[in-house]
Chain A
Amino acid sequence: MGTIRMDRRLFLKSAGATAGAVAATQVGCLKYFKKGRSSAAETREIPTTCELCPNKCSAIAVVEGGFVRKLNPNPENPKSRDMLCARGNAAIKQVYDPDRIKQPMIRVGTRGEGKWKPVSWDEAFDFAAKKLSEVKDKYGPQGTLWSSTEGFQEVFFKNLGLAFGSPNLVRHPTLCLASVNLAYSATFGTVPSFDLLNSKFVIISGANRFESIITPDTMDLIGGVMERKAKLVYLDPRFTVTAAKADEWYPIKPGTDLAFILAMIHVIIAENRHSKDFVATYTTGFEQLAEHVKQYTPEWAEKETEIPAKDIVRIAREFADAGARALYYAGRRSSWYQNDFQMRRAQAILNAIVGNWDQMGGMVPNAKLPKGEFLFMPWDEPKAPRVDEIEKNFPLAAKGDGVYLKLRENVLSGKPYPVKGWMVYKQDPLNAMPDQSKTMKMIDQMDFIGVIDVQMSDMAWYADVVFPESAYLERTDPVEVMPGIWPAVVYRQQVVKPIHDTKPNLEIVQGLAKRLGLGDYFDYTIDQWVEAEFKDLPIPMASEHMKKHGVWAASGQPSYGKTLNPDHRFVTKSGKIEIFSERLQEAGYDPLPVYAAPVQPPGDRFRLILGRVGYFTHANQSNNVWLHEFMKENDLWINPKPAERLGIRDGATVTVSSSVGSVKLKARVTEEIRPDCVFMLHGFGKKSKMQSLVYNVGASDAVILETAWDKVSGNAAFHETFVKVANA
């Protein structure tokens, strides 16, 4: 013991930072010790998979006396890196939320009035089936719209829409990451992962990775920046946590990131710093690129971006010198500007010419794992064309996901055909889509709206019938393979029995299918489905393993360089990495990214920009009591200079108005934003009284955001709205 004590004294002394810390006297007396007030209830630990956001982190639920007491991170999942964020920890309160929908409900007042009749599941199913059949009789199956967002049970909902005969499935990507996915696919034939664990030099345009948590990227990047001496350059009009942790932050003029990237490419090619072997072996169109970027000098880019030319030159050099371990990181919610696709394409091209493809510390094509499939009875493909006319308007976009904003325009105009029935699963279009008044008009013209959700979202509040889904901790879900640098399989199993009269989505789908004469297509149980999926997993005793561990990951190091073989055919038209894209040219788009200066707000207006914090990402999280404690209402960030000009004081209520709506918010006068922008957080100002903590508190960004989209992907452009701000 003596030697240990000496050790401690030694290191404390040598570090020399404190004098008071060495006192080792034990204080306190144990004589009054009594046993704590612990309950004798049985404790069980059940592995499962979080559903509070799309990261799918592995968690171990601690269940005491039938209640979920705690969720611990499960270290076996390499993607979630042995962590659970605030949202993941707060999932318990999703189950025990007093605002939960406790039984199926049918609307009795007008839409949105909040008058509901609790009904039996049979009544709810009969009602919805009758209404859906009426719409089908009148307008055909294409007269129904099936909206959903990512989730393990989403497949059943989509299948019901398809079996019903509707081509009109519409999913979240065009409100999220469609442009980045399409840009990387157009260049590399696939969307890669970014090896931030091993990168040496990372540039990020606006993807606020330390507040918008993506696994494993957030953890790998903070480790890289703080422990492994990676350099982070970050561009954002707002001083986010990512900006605070970056080595260099540039408050770039909004919408000009493409100019910065093109100038970087200009410098790298002009100074012959690109990876010549890689470019020659694996890419096509480099010569056209070299010619194309001659116009984009750093001096020109300085005028566009407000980033000094000398910094652009230096950053370009440092980036190229880091070579295969340099990354221009893509980010996720890439729905910002109308040139978003081309901006992401330029990033992809910049990454390609430094040769970071399929390299440690670079971009890595995702490794996949096989999974079994449950063979269900197939249905006839829907015959009608999609209502968003995706083939005509966005020929390169992902057909199965649809294009949300164009779809809304067409539904509102009734062209090419009327859509009068709307089924929604796990999504809140009223808050997810810009221009809430337009979404409200879309609601108004529907003959029928049915919503399946765990909680009474704003969309559910405006529905005709609400089907309460069991929370993820109350359900068993299909198995999910998560491709990536460290691929894994995750399984979500029931932790506790549903505490209210709720059902898993599959059973809701089955209840509807049966009454719609489609029961045969859904004639299986979740257990049969899951067992079929377990079958082809590369795991001995897969079923037992997944139930015991909740996750399986291949051991060992990632395998880099599998596609680095001159004979490898990329899934592109040329079989090469396409710097110049003939496919884009044929579809009528710029084959190389062409810069056009974005319109900037006139003097009396600000550009509205959006973002997230670590404890709220989705609109469905702000009513969680354990998260709500950190922020009770959202506010409007405004720089002190314009605030002073407008006489706006910190904490004062201001009116923020655009061409489509106006909201009232408290002002946060802060240095942490450009003077020409204002910022507000997503997820507040709810219309649903069953979101009691945030009902009518703060404001919803959806009210003032205007409709705009990226031309190629159809992705919503959320940063194209100019607003007026005035004291209320």
Chain B
Amino acid sequence: MAIKKKRYALVIDSRKCINCKACVVACKAENKVPVGNFRNRINEERKGEYPKLSINFEPEQCHHCTDPSCVRVCPTGASWQRKDGIVLVNYDECIGCRYCMIACPYDARYFNEEEGVVDKCTFCSHRVDKGDIPACVETCPSKVRVFGDLEDPTNRIHELLSTRRYRVKEPQTGNGPQLYYLL
């Protein structure tokens, strides 16, 4: 029997983001992220002159790319990708050279000083493997993120991506980012 193939991705409706930081703290707790480091963030863009103003918020984390440059440049194979698309760091193999941090077009990685290794968003793979959703997705008051499996046609992200316009960030890198921002 063939094992059903999976490909995880995140659809983000930034317009609903109110910059409350719930996702950032939930991630911190769930993944024991050290104070001063973050696996996800909310980008802010403030524009205009009083009283014609605008603010846009954009949550961002690892894009779990289909052809991730971080994995390509890793000299030890510590940065690797699961068959379901989740990009991870094998801490035992990481030598802390930080090539991957430079190679990442999204600034999604940080160096964990305590452990001496590079770390990043895992899509909460330990939760996903149990059938749960990532902590940032779950805790969000306005449900900005939708997490799902692109290989499952019944998944809600299919509906969103087939009915709404969207963009990905830095497509020209060829990394194939899997964070889809609804327009």
Q: Which residues of A does B touch, CB under 8 Å?
A: 1, 4-5, 7-8, 10-12, 14-15, 17-34, 36-38, 69-73, 81-86, 88-90, 92, 210-211, 213, 218-219, 222-223, 226-227, 239, 241, 243-245, 249, 251, 614-615, 625-627, 629-630, 639-640, 671-675
Contact = CB atoms under 8 A, between A and B. Distances in A.
B90 A33 contact: yes
Instruction: Find the residue from A5, A27, A85 having the highest chain B CB count within 10 A.
Output: A27
Instruction: Find the residue from B22, B79, B152, B178 having the highest chain A CB count within 10 A.
Output: B22
Interface string B160-183: 011011111001111111101001
Contact of B142 (A34, A219, A672): A219
Contact of B55 (A22, A25, A218, A239): A239
Given A32-B80, A92-B29, A24 B22 contact: no
9 contacts: A18-B167, A18-B168, A23-B176, A25-B66, A26-B85, A27-B66, A31-B77, A211-B19, A629-B35
Contacts of B81: 26-28
Given A25-B67, A84-B22, A211-B18, A17 B166 contact: yes
Contact of B153 (A7, A19, A245): A7
Given A27-B68, A28-B71, 17 more contacts: A14-B162, A15-B165, A17-B168, A18-B166, A21-B66, A23-B67, A26-B85, A29-B77, A33-B80, A70-B135, A73-B138, A73-B139, A85-B141, A222-B16, A239-B51, A245-B18, A625-B35
A89 B176 contact: no
B126 A36 contact: yes
A15 B130 CA distance: 32
Contact of B93 (A32, A72, A640): A32
B147 to A, nearest CB: 14
Nearest to B4: A1
The 3 closest A-B pairs by CB, nearest first: A28-B81, A614-B20, A11-B162
A218 B18 contact: yes
Contacts, number: 209
Contact of A19 (B50, B164, B165, B171): B171
A18 B138 CA distance: 27
Contacts of B78: 32
Contacts of A15: 161-162, 164-166
Nearest to B5: A1
B27 to A, nearest CB: 9
Interface string B1-43: 0100101000001011011111011101110000110000000
Nearest to B153: A7
B18 A627 contact: no
B26 A84 contact: yes
Contacts of A19: 171
A314 B24 CA distance: 41
Contacts of B173: 20
A243 B7 CA distance: 38
B91 interface: yes
A81 B141 CA distance: 7
Interface in B47-74: 48-51, 53-57, 66-68, 71-72
Nearest to B86: A28
A651 B182 CA distance: 35
A26 B165 CA distance: 26
Contacts of A10: 162
B150 interface: yes
B98 interface: no
Contacts of A639: 50
Contacts of A70: 26, 29-30, 135
Contacts of B85: 26
B77 A86 contact: no
A28 B80 contact: yes
A241 B183 CA distance: 19
B87 A28 contact: yes
Contacts of A18: 166-168, 171
Nearest to A671: B50
B114 interface: no
A27 B67 contact: yes
A226 B162 CA distance: 19
